[in-house]
Amino acid sequence: MEFVEITQGWWIFRLVVLVVVLAMMASAARTVYWLLRYVAMGQGSLEVDQVGERVRGFLVNVIGQKRVIAEPAGILHLMIFWGFLILQVETIEYLIRGTPWTFNFHFSAIIGVMPYNIILFFQDIVSVIIIFALTLLGIRRYVFKPQHVVQSADAAIIIVFIVGLMVTKLFANGAEIAATPLNILGHDPVFTPFAYLIAKMIQGWEIGSMTTFHHLSYAVHILIVGAFGNYVPMGKHLHLIGAMPNVFFRKLEPDGSLYPIDLEDEEAESFGVGRVEELSWKQLLDTYACTECGRCQHYCPAYNTGKPLNPMMIIHKIKDQIRVKGEHSLREGNDDADEVIPMLTGSVITREELWSCTTCGACVANCPVFIEHVDTIVDMRRYLALTEADMPIEVSRTFRNMENNSNPWGISSSYRSDWADGLDIPLMGDLEEKPDYLFWVGCAGSFDDRQKKVSRAFAKIMREADVSFAILGNEEGCTGDPARRIGNEYLYWMLATANIEVLNSYEVTKIVTTCPHCFHTIGKEYPQLGGHYEVVHHTELLNELIADGRIKMRGTGHMKVTYHDSCYANRWVGEYDNARDALSSVPGIELVEMDLNKKQSFCCGAGGGRMWMEEHIGKRVNIERTDQALAVKPDAIAVACPFCMTMFDDGLKNRDSDIPLMDLAEIVANNLEESGDDEIDIREIPQITAAAE
């Protein structure tokens, strides 16, 4: 076959195409420049700490796509992502070939023949893999239509773009193989089997037709590259630009801990976030990272029970507001944005959306690109609570109770240790030597009649295991968790600093608590105010005592128990085994899992201060979770949180169910091989009736 060299006309054609593509890339770069300028409107400075951890996380979650592949369709995205990485070498080569410089990486002496052949082999195979993966994704999205997947033309356009890139690449390579002698081609066509197949299909064409087909395929390919580069910043695939830096700059503070605000700033005109530019630059960057995968809404308890909140739409409303504000103020230079652009909080994002959040963290834990939905929602709640004093009426009452009596019920602190009457539990103030643990009882464990039984059961177990502990009694106060998550940072600060002063005065170092909210707040957020303690949740201590043989279990017959994961003791910690291991250590107990469990567990509905708010819209969250528990037909439901206890108790009553509801401590206490020295009447603790053998 005679090879026809590229004529002057084709070089002019290629140069024109290259100039057009470079102009398109310049346009895309300009768009990205302005998008970054908009992010720079946010608060805070670009400070990079813990670089090693950030690099590790980048490698694991961007290169390794760890969170992406956690869902079934994620493996297809992994294939496409890695395919794009591999194909970038060829994209660079194609762009250089738009000049009158006959170029490939082999002839440039950059790499040898065999490495070049291997690179081309992977590029050829990857092209077909990407087409295959996109076909499956398209079928999944537009035929099976998963409920949580957003249906949009944008995704279809992207699929067409990428398939077009792969097909034109194969066509161009195939035509090049067919029309070029091997000594000029620069690689062995056997290493590009799919392009070689196309070459075989067109090898009967005239040399001029094959050359034309090659140049046209090449031109369409790099024009699609330019068009794709301009389309990406304008649609859902902006995450191709935003996700990688978002993962690198992800929040490294303890999961679920909120950032404090400066309440002593005398120049502050408001507290919290009312307008989009009052968010941090990282919160603004979050919006560029969203992949619209729908995982946040898929696992959101508020969204799935008919509430106005959709975590993904919160992020997208903010992204739209960023562009509106940025174009108006930065690009157009107007200074009247506050007059003509609506408020973010309470207008663009409604109060109903914000108050629906339980701060359970399902959105954050399942987001593949580390978007912090909860931080952003709480920041806007802070604006409503501190600046607008705009809260549900029942919340105002709860705040008054916490301020006046340091507990949400408004009961006098003088009754805080009444749950321990007759147990001879020492107070910290009466001890000369520090005990192993300070038992932080919490407001519910001190004042709620049902939770008092849990406090007594846990005290019984610690006594049986010879764990030395003491309580603070009326010196203990509310940790401030409900106030902080509702948005009243000032009330939280007041309560937290009072507690820290007491704890530090006793030089407390180790705390155990049955309340996940106390566990989370003292352990993860008190350090922001100078309170540094080792805080243990009772599920961890119970499992440790059983594993060490300090308490021994006896069985009461076969029973099926389902365990509800607490958002603040489990998902926000990433720990799911302690309670399950402790339950499994009880002879006769068979652990049965609800469909939604562990990281994908469904909130009881009490978090984020929702415990103290009425629920008027949609199905009650606690009823939905109760239905999920009843669906596995257990003999008992186990919890490890006083809020969860209350919500499930209400749910079971609503469903007229008499299935026992028990805290893990009660189940363990019921099944102790006791020493006989028992100061707690076991009849006070609810019992599980064994199922018939």
Q: Which of 417, 421, 511, 426 is nearest to 473 (CA)?
A: 417
The model's confidence at residue 329, banded by pLDDT at 50, 70 and 90, is very high
Can you give the pLDDT at residue 26? 94
pLDDT of residue 677 exceeding 90, the answer is: no
pLDDT of residue 684 exceeding 80, the answer is: no
Q: Which of 123, 118, 114, 122 is nearest to 94 (CA)?
A: 123
Q: Report the range out of 152-161, 180-189, 213-222, 580-589 with the highest average pLDDT.
A: 580-589
pLDDT of residue 77 exceeding 50, the answer is: yes
pLDDT of residue 690 exceeding 90, the answer is: no
Can you give the pLDDT at residue 9? 67
Q: Give me the CATH code for the 402-544 domain, please.
A: 3.40.50
Mean pLDDT, rounded, for 523-543: 97
The model's confidence at residue 235, banded by pLDDT at 50, 70 and 90, is confident
Round to whole Å and give the CA distance between 349 and 287.
14
In Å, the largest CA–CA distance within the chain is 103
Mean pLDDT, rounded, for 164-189: 83
Cα four-point dihedral sign 662, 663, 668, 670: negative
Q: Which residue has the higher pLDDT, 641 or 85?
A: 641
Mean pLDDT, rounded, for 622-635: 97
Contact 608, 664 (CB under 8 A): no
Q: Which residue has the higher pLDDT, 463 or 685?
A: 463
Mean pLDDT, rounded, for 194-198: 92
The token pair that represents 175 in the structure block: 């035509």
Q: Which residue has the higher pLDDT, 177 or 284?
A: 284
Q: Answer whether 276-387 and 548-684 agree in fold.
A: no
The model's confidence at residue 150, banded by pLDDT at 50, 70 and 90, is low
Which pairing describes strands 534-537 and 661-663: parallel, antiparallel, or unpaired? unpaired
Can you give the pLDDT at residue 137? 83
pLDDT in tens, 97-132: 766 555 555 554 566 678 878 888 988 998 999 999
**Could you identify the residue written with the tokens 């339980």?**
358
pLDDT of residue 201 exceeding 50, the answer is: yes
Prediction pTM value: 0.89
Round to whole Å and give the CA distance between 349 and 343.
8
pLDDT of residue 679 exceeding 50, the answer is: no
Can you give the pLDDT at residue 379? 97
pLDDT in tens, 27-46: 999 999 999 999 999 999 88
Contacts of 133 (CB under 8 A, 6+ apart): 76, 77, 79, 80, 83
The model's confidence at residue 47, banded by pLDDT at 50, 70 and 90, is confident
Q: Give me the CATH code for the 8-247 domain, please.
A: 1.20.950
Round to whole Å and give the CA distance between 326 and 37.
8
Residue 163, H or E segment: helix 153-179
Can you give the pLDDT at residue 292? 87
Can you give the pLDDT at residue 114? 80
% the chain with pLDDT above 90: 67
Mean pLDDT, rounded, for 560-576: 96
pLDDT of residue 383 exceeding 90, the answer is: yes
Can you give the pLDDT at residue 691? 39
Among the ranges given (218-232, 300-314, 337-351, 560-574), the one the predictor scored with the smallest mean pLDDT:
218-232
Hey, which residues does 672 pair with through a beta bridge? 553
- Here the contacts of 329-333 (C-beta below 8 Å, separation 24 or greater) are 329/41, 330/34, 330/37, 330/38, 330/41, 331/34
Can you give the pLDDT at residue 682? 41
Give buried/exposed letters for 248-261 (b at 16+ CB in 10 A, else e).
Answer: bbbbeeebbbbeeb
Can you give the pLDDT at residue 685? 53
Domain boundaries, the chain: 8-247, 276-387, 402-544, 548-684
CATH architecture of the domain 276-387 equals Orthogonal Bundle (1.10)
Round to whole Å and give the CA distance between 286 and 381.
18
pLDDT of residue 3 exceeding 50, the answer is: no
Q: Which of 299, 325, 323 is nearest to 311 (CA)?
A: 299
Can you give the pLDDT at residue 111? 67
Fold of domain 548-684: Rossmann fold (3.40.50)
